[in-house]
Amino acid sequence: MEKIIKYGFQPVVNNVIHGQNDEKGKKLFKSKHVYGVVEKTNKIKTVITGKVVPQTGVSNFYDVTISVDSNRHVSNTVCTCKAGLEGKCKHICALIHYVNSPETSSSKTSLSQQWVLSAEMTKLKPIKLTVASMPESLKNTPLRKILELEEKENIVITRAESMLQMIQSKAKEVLQEKARKVVSDLFLFYIH
Ligand SMILES: [Zn+2]
């Protein structure tokens, strides 16, 4: 099955192109010359494509394609401009800057934007519960037992926070890691 992303990209690592082309690419991105960016992941690979309008003559555009490996390192690059045949032009850099910009990437700053975008999600914000503050209706639930354990052992079991991050995260590896953490926390609870 293919996964398609048009917003909230995980950042990529550019080990391919540095120097002048990178600077020029950054300018192209900042002057909004990049559009139509799509990331597609299937079982074999992740490919990001986009269109970059050249600095001169806005009636045309170049098609840019970059491949990234499982660590999000840029592994292969192609652009339809003349210099792009070697895979090292400013348009490729512009696309990479677009993917890595806070406005489009899913890292750091955009996380708060996601919060703003989804009113339902903000309602899920974890609250600090203690055994003492626990409502009567929850007194005989597993949650109370988890809280008792947390207070007794002075540990924090990741519950709502982990679930929330799982919902927000788009990266499979992160999901798996969080799921493992939740399971191991619950296991810790049940063997006590
Ligand atoms: Zn190019």
Between 159 and 114, whose confidence is greater?
A: 159
Q: Does residue 39 sit in the same domain as residue 72?
A: yes
- 91 C-alpha vs ligand 1 centroid, how far in Å? 4
Residue 83 has φ and ψ, to the nearest 5°, of: -70, -25
pLDDT at residue 123, rounded to an integer: 45
- 80 C-alpha vs ligand 1 centroid, how far in Å? 6
pLDDT, one tens digit per residue, over 109-126 is: 334 333 333 444 444 444
Strand intervals (E) in the chain: 3-5, 34-41, 46-52, 62-68, 74-79
Q: Does residue 19 sit in the same domain as residue 83?
A: yes
Between 10 and 133, whose confidence is greater?
A: 10
Tokens encoding 102: 């806070």
pLDDT at residue 42, rounded to an integer: 86
Domain limits for position 171: 118-190
Pair 29, 65: CB distance under 8 Å? no
pLDDT, one tens digit per residue, over 160-181 is: 555 555 555 566 666 666 666 6
Q: Does residue 84 sit in the same domain as residue 124?
A: no
- 96 C-alpha vs ligand 1 centroid, how far in Å? 12
Q: Does residue 123 sit in the same domain as residue 90?
A: no
- Tell me which amino acid residue 54 is: P
- Would 113 be classed as within a structural domain? no
- 108 C-alpha vs ligand 1 centroid, how far in Å? 29
Q: Does residue 85 sit in the same domain as residue 12?
A: yes
Residues within 5 A (CB) of ion ligand 1: 62, 79, 81, 84, 89, 91
Q: Does residue 42 sit in the same domain as residue 78?
A: yes
- 11 C-alpha vs ligand 1 centroid, how far in Å? 21
pLDDT at residue 185, rounded to an integer: 59
pLDDT at residue 39, rounded to an integer: 93
pLDDT at 63 over 80: yes
pLDDT at residue 103, rounded to an integer: 78
Q: Does residue 83 sit in the same domain as residue 143?
A: no
- 74 C-alpha vs ligand 1 centroid, how far in Å? 16
Stretch 9-25: mean pLDDT: 89
- 38 C-alpha vs ligand 1 centroid, how far in Å? 17
* Number of separate domains in the chain: 2
- 59 C-alpha vs ligand 1 centroid, how far in Å? 15
- Would 59 be classed as within a structural domain? yes
Tokens encoding 122: 């903000």
Count other Cβ atoms within 10 Å, centred on residue 52.
29
pLDDT, one tens digit per residue, over 65-113 is: 999 998 999 999 999 988 777 778 999 999 999 999 987 776 543 343 3
| Average pLDDT of the chain, as a whole number | 75
